Amino acid sequence: MQEFIDKVKKLWVAKGAKDELTEKLGEASKTVEGLKLDVMKMMEALEIEKQHVPECGTVYRQKEFSVQVPKTPGDKEALFNWIAVNKGKDVLDNMLSIHSQSLNSFYKSEFEIAKEEGNVDFSIPGIKAPEVYYKLGMKSK
């Protein structure tokens, strides 16, 4: 029984240490995100896309976009009809329970194909135009 009690005490100490580290990690994550936002704003103001900083590495602005999953039945129907006609039943079957991450992956893939084909007016029925945003990329020295 004493071995059990000792093990529970060790567990309690370890859990306390873990909780303390988790709290510190949360604080550090907030600090990092705040600094990233500050650096992004400064890069935009200074019109810098990429900058190497000695002893640190390179920071760069990375352009991203995302689309939203259709919300209305009409938009969903338009999307699924487009997939069925342009990509076939197998792709449609895989996309019927579509979620944001898979839709964005699918859209980006289709966008790249359209771009290679010279289609600058690419769109998929039922999906609103993508939202463009920037995120900060960092590469170690």
40 within a domain of the structure (yes/no): yes
> What gap in Å lies between CA 42 and CA 91, rounded to an integer?
43
pLDDT truncated to tens, each residue of the chain (141 aa)?
A: 999 999 999 999 999 999 999 999 999 999 999 999 999 999 999 999 999 999 999 999 999 999 999 999 999 999 999 999 999 989 988 888 888 999 999 999 999 999 999 998 999 999 999 999 999 999 987
| Nearest residue to 86 (alpha-carbon basis) of 110, 116, 108 | 110
Q: Are residues 40 and 78 in the same domain?
A: no
First to last CA, the chain: 54
pLDDT of residue 56: 93
pLDDT of residue 141: 75
pLDDT of residue 43: 96
| Nearest residue to 59 (alpha-carbon basis) of 125, 141, 116, 129 | 141
Query: Which residues on adjacent β-strands are paired with residue 136?
Result: 61
pLDDT of residue 96: 81
Provide the CA 107 distance to its chain's centre, in angstroms.
14
58 within a domain of the structure (yes/no): no
pLDDT of residue 66: 95
Q: Which residue segment(s) compose the domain that 21 sits in?
A: 1-48
Number of domains in the chain: 2
pLDDT of residue 78: 94
Q: Are residues 73 and 128 in the same domain?
A: yes
**Do the Cβ atoms of 43 and 51 come closer than 8 Å?**
yes
